[in-house]
C-alpha cells in the first residue's frame, strides 16, 4: 500500500510502516532476550513482560523511529502509557482492546519473526474502530463466537491480513477488531500511546485504558 499511513490509521484503524524499526532492531533483540530469556519456560507457553521500557531502556522506540514519531505526532497520540514484550503462540481470537468512544489509543507492534496469513499475522477488520460503523454489541459477540454464530473459522472472517517482516511497525487503533491465526512461536514488542486527555470524560476513559493495559485480559475496568 502507498496510502499515507496517518489516513489509513484514521479512517481504517491501522497502518504498516515497512522496515521503520530496522535500525533499532538489534537493541530490541537485546532487550527482549534480557526480559524474556529463551530457556525460562516451554516454547508452547505465551509469556508477557510489562513495563518493558522501564526494565530495558534499549526497548524505547519514541525519538528513534522517525516514521513512527511523525505518525504519532500527526495523530496527536504522543504520550506513551505502557510497553510490553511478548512471546506469542497459537491463535488470538477476534477482539478489540476495549472500545473507547472518547480519546485516542494506539498500539504499535513489531514482530521478531516473519508473519503472514498462514503464520500468525495480525489481521484487522478495516473501519471497525469507529463507533458510527456499528460494529459494537451484537456484531462483536458474533465475531467472538464465529464458529457457532457465523459458521466460519476465525481465519475465514473477511479481514485484512497484515503480513510483516522483522523491523516493520504495525500501528493500530485499539478499538479496531483484530486477531491472529495459524501462528507458531513469535516474539512481539509493543508500545501503547494515547492522546493526552483534555476533558473530564477523556481523563476517565484514559484511566480505564491504562488500568486495562496492566491487568490480565480476563479483567476489565469499565
Name the residues that contact another protein, by CB under 8 A.
1-3, 7-8, 11-12, 14, 125-128, 130, 132-135, 139, 142-143, 147, 149-153, 156, 158-160
- The CB-of-206 to another protein minimum distance in angstroms stands at 24
Residue 12 or 209 having the CB closest to another protein: 12
- The CB-of-81 to another protein minimum distance in angstroms stands at 27
- The CB-of-212 to another protein minimum distance in angstroms stands at 25
7 CB-contact burial (10 Å; exposed 0-12 / middle 13-18 / buried 19+): exposed
Residue 40 or 132 having the CB closest to another protein: 132
3-state secondary structure 88-102: ECCCEEEECCCCCCC
- The CB-of-194 to another protein minimum distance in angstroms stands at 22
Residue 60 or 125 having the CB closest to another protein: 125
- Cross-strand bridge partners of residue 187: 87
Residue 53 or 106 having the CB closest to another protein: 106
Residue 95 or 130 having the CB closest to another protein: 130
40: cell is 525460562
197: cell is 486527555
- The CB-of-176 to another protein minimum distance in angstroms stands at 11
Dist. CA 62–CA 82, nearest whole Å? 12
169 near 65, Cβ under 8 Å? yes
Q: Could you tell me the sign of the dihedral formed by the alpha carbons of 57, 63, 69, 72, in that order?
A: positive
Amino acid at each position: 500500500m502507498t496510502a499515507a499511513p496517518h489516513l489509513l490509521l484514521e479512517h481504517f484503524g491501522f497502518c504498516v510502516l515497512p522496515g521503520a524499526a530496522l535500525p533499532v532492531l538489534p537493541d530490541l533483540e537485546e532487550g527482549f532476550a534480557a526480559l524474556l530469556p529463551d530457556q525460562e519456560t516451554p516454547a508452547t507457553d505465551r509469556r508477557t513482560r510489562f513495563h518493558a521500557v522501564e526494565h530495558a531502556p534499549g526497548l524505547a522506540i519514541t525519538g528513534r523511529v522517525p516514521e513512527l514519531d511523525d505518525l504519532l505526532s500527526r495523530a496527536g497520540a504522543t504520550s506513551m502509557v505502557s510497553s510490553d514484550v511478548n512471546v506469542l503462540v497459537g491463535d488470538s481470537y477476534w477482539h478489540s482492546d476495549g472500545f473507547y468512544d472518547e480519546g485516542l489509543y494506539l498500539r504499535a507492534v513489531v514482530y521478531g519473526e516473519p508473519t503472514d496469513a498462514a503464520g500468525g499475522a495480525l489481521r484487522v477488520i478495516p473501519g471497525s474502530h469507529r463507533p458510527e460503523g456499528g460494529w459494537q454489541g451484537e456484531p462483536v459477540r458474533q465475531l467472538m463466537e464465529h464458529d457457532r454464530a457465523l459458521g466460519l473459522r476465525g481465519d475465514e472472517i473477511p479481514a485484512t491480513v497484515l503480513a510483516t517482516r522483522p523491523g516493520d511497525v504495525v500501528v493500530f487503533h485499539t478499538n479496531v477488531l483484530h486477531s491472529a491465526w495459524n501462528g507458531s512461536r513469535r516474539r512481539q514488542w509493543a508500545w501503547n500511546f494515547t492522546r493526552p486527555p483534555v476533558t473530564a470524560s477523556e481523563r476517565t476513559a484514559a484511566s480505564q485504558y491504562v488500568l486495562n493495559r496492566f491487568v490480565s485480559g480476563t479483567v476489565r475496568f469499565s
